[in-house]
Structure 1
Amino acid sequence: MTWNLQKSFQRGSEPQAGTLYLVATPIGNLEDMTYRAVRTLQEVDVIAAEDTRQSRKLLTHFEIPSKTLFSYHEHNKHASGPELIRYLIEGKNIALVSDAGLPAISDPGTDLVALAIENSISVVPIPGANAALSALIVSGLPTERFTFIGFLPRDKKSVEQVLESLRMSEGTLLFYESPHRVSKTLEHMHRVLGNRRIVMARELTKRYEEFARGTIEECLAWLEEHPPQGEYCLVLEPSDGSASADQTVWWESLSIEAHVAHYEERNGGNRKEAMKQAAADRNVSRRDIYNSLL
């Protein structure tokens, strides 16, 4: 990045380009919306939205006059981004909103911000609700240092590579996860990082807001009895340095039979899945585990 100095609210006498406003929207409870966010959406010329249908509902609720809604999301950002920059260069003010929370966090807003800065366009934050930080501050885990990870990759190998890189991280770790993947993600965490304390936060700021606090094993047991619903924010305790190495090999003193039995008990008697998990821990094939148990 080349040198760039932005004075957001000082204007010279020469014609100015427009401003890109990053406007936070509610993560659940509509009362999360700030006065400044409403005013900004009322005043800008264009609103760039991840989902224009969702944003139209928001505008209607706050009685914000109808205006140009521009679709900007992961699948059209390469075409829509330059078009939005053209509007800004022409002097139009644009508000960027995501479906929920702060734009540019786990969404393509990051690319638009970088493009705006490259074109010497002012980018102004309009702060508000954020799921990860909301979960962190009520987690009971350390807040002095933390790392936001967001969504992990989808394939097992990449997930475990990312987690391995975080194994000795000294800060609390923040993740986003969908309900149909949260159990698998916890299993990966348990295998790579050990049985750490974790908080599963869901339905943040909504009527059924819920925080499940415990170890990874306890939370996995909870999910077996209570099927996951809603988007999750996972807050994972940091490494304690010396203990981390022991945590990652919690099974080392177990026989293969005991190792499989541990998972079998947790999986409701599913021996095939238990052998698969034990094999992954030991970095061997499931057939190796099977042969050892004959």
Structure 2
Amino acid sequence: MPVGTLYVVATPIGHLGDITQRAVEVLRAADRILAEDTRRARALLSHLGIGGKPVDRLDEHASDADLARAAAHLAAGEQLAFMTDAGTPVVSDPGNALVRAAAAAGAPVVPIPGASAVMAALSVSGLVTGGFRFVGFLPRGGRERREALALVASTPEAVVLFESPHRTTDTLRDLAERIPRRQVLIARELTKVHEELLRGSLADLAARAQEREWRGEVTLVVGPAEPGEAGEAEGLSDAEIDARIDRDLALGRRPRDIADELSVELGVPRRTIYARVTARKG
């Protein structure tokens, strides 16, 4: 019996009209649907008039047994369609382990492209001048978050990231501390009834964010570095590095944040920079 195929199916990020005809055909022809959330999957299938199919849950907590079961269905010749809650699977969504398991089992893995919050936000940002970096959701706190923020600040290209509405204000503030002049697009509730696009500098939007409550899905597009900003720390003399540290300290920035950012930009171990910052502060 020939092995089945895994179809990785993009679904709408809001507006149900964004489902592609090919996606509908694949979902209709599939023997089994694998879904991040079975309730949402069944609601979409019902809207499309597709019924009578088994829908199995397969989310970020999928066990080895869940993956082995999916591989067994493929080995039995079943055609599987995988879908997440919204948008393109595996883009800040579960699915990597499933794709690896299918490939290891010798099953073809076929992308069914469609809606993507990343590409939708980029297309209306006016901020892409070449390549871009996608970082997904930033860590919630601690050193991992500081290093991620430093990476965004030191990236010369446009950066796309997702954020929870509960942390959007904090993220805008944290980025504004590092790159206040950088232009940004806040894309909220893309393709939905209350879609909203806000443009301006990080300093401006961080200040405006203090006066509002964010709701819904948020995608940020941080524009590319301005002339003279990208690679600012590269090739600096010791005196220039100390001057930058002094400037950041005078602005009230925390030593650990300064160290995180400079270590990324200079390619120097963080502990070395941190010791230098604390010495300057002393």
TM-score (norm 2): 0.82
Corresponding residue to 2:139 among 153, 176, 188 = 153
Shift of 1:109: 0.6
Matched, 1:220 2:206: yes
Conserved? CA contact 1:194–1:250, under 8 Å:
no
2:173 match: secondary structure: helix
Matched, 1:91 2:77: yes
Corresponding residue to 2:229 among 235, 243, 262 = 243
The C-alpha deviation readout for 1:33-63, integer Å capped at 9, x for no partner, is 1111111111101100000001111011111
Shift of 1:224: 1.5
Percent identity between the two aligned chains: 38
Aligned to 2:268: none
Aligned to 1:204: 190
Matched, 1:121 2:107: yes
For structure 2, list consecutive stretches of 5 or more residues without a partner in the other structure: 234-240, 260-273
Aligned to 2:167: 181
Aligned to 1:76: 62
Show structure 1 runs of 4+ deviating over 6 A: 248-251
For structure 1, list consecutive stretches of 5 or more residues without a partner in the other structure: 1-14, 261-276
Q: Aligned pair in 2 of structure 1 residues 70, 161: CA closer, same or farther (>3 Å)?
A: same
Aligned to 1:230: 216
Corresponding residue to 1:100 among 67, 86, 100 = 86
1:125 match: secondary structure: strand
Aligned to 1:163: 149
Q: Aligned pair in 2 of structure 1 residues 282, 173: CA closer, same or farther (>3 Å)?
A: closer
The separation in 2 between residues aligned to 1:214 and 1:24, in whole angstroms, is 31
Q: Aligned pair in 2 of structure 1 residues 17, 176: CA closer, same or farther (>3 Å)?
A: same
The separation in 1 between residues aligned to 2:17 and 2:196, in whole angstroms, is 18
Shift of 1:217: 1.3
> Which letter maps to 2:51?
P
The C-alpha deviation readout for 1:148-200, integer Å capped at 9, x for no partner, is 11011112311121232344423211101000011111222223444311111
Conserved? CA contact 1:199–1:211, under 8 Å:
yes
Corresponding residue to 2:48 among 38, 62, 86 = 62
Q: Say which is worse superposed, 147-156 or 72-81, in terms of deviation.
A: 72-81
The C-alpha deviation readout for 1:243-269, integer Å capped at 9, x for no partner, is 2438x998955884xx46xxxxxxxxx
The separation in 1 between residues aligned to 2:64 and 2:227, in whole angstroms, is 42
The separation in 1 between residues aligned to 2:155 and 2:127, in whole angstroms, is 14
Aligned to 2:8: 22
2:82 match: secondary structure: strand
What is the root-mean-square deviation of aligned Cα atoms in Å?
Answer: 2.6
Shift of 1:65: 1.8
Conserved? CA contact 1:200–1:211, under 8 Å:
yes
2:125 match: secondary structure: coil
TM-score (norm 1): 0.78
Matched, 1:142 2:122: no
1:233 match: secondary structure: strand
The C-alpha deviation readout for 1:91-123, integer Å capped at 9, x for no partner, is 001000000001111122111111211221101
